[in-house]
Amino acid sequence: MSGPAIFKIVVVILLVIILISLASGLIFLIRDKGKSDRTVKSLTLRIVLSIALFILLFIGFSAGLITPHGINPTAPSGTLP
């Protein structure tokens, strides 16, 4: 398996962990009704993981492991004056 493929798998796994943390925060919010700090801890973990994901994406872009692209990466030849 190549480096970019492993990098993309790590990003997807990190996204799944972020979603799990978000869901657990919601569950703790509903069950505890403000009597414990588990909701705050869960959402703090989500924020830390999101920042880590942003830094990881920036490093991956800088290292050339991922490349940005748009819906239309090249302009059609007839549209420029």
The tens digit of pLDDT for each residue in 60-71 reads 989 888 887 776
Distance CA 19, CA 23 (A): 6
pTM: 0.76
Residue 76 pLDDT exceeds 70: no
Distance CA 5, CA 31 (A): 39
On whether the CB atoms of residues 66 and 8 are closer than 8 A, the answer is yes
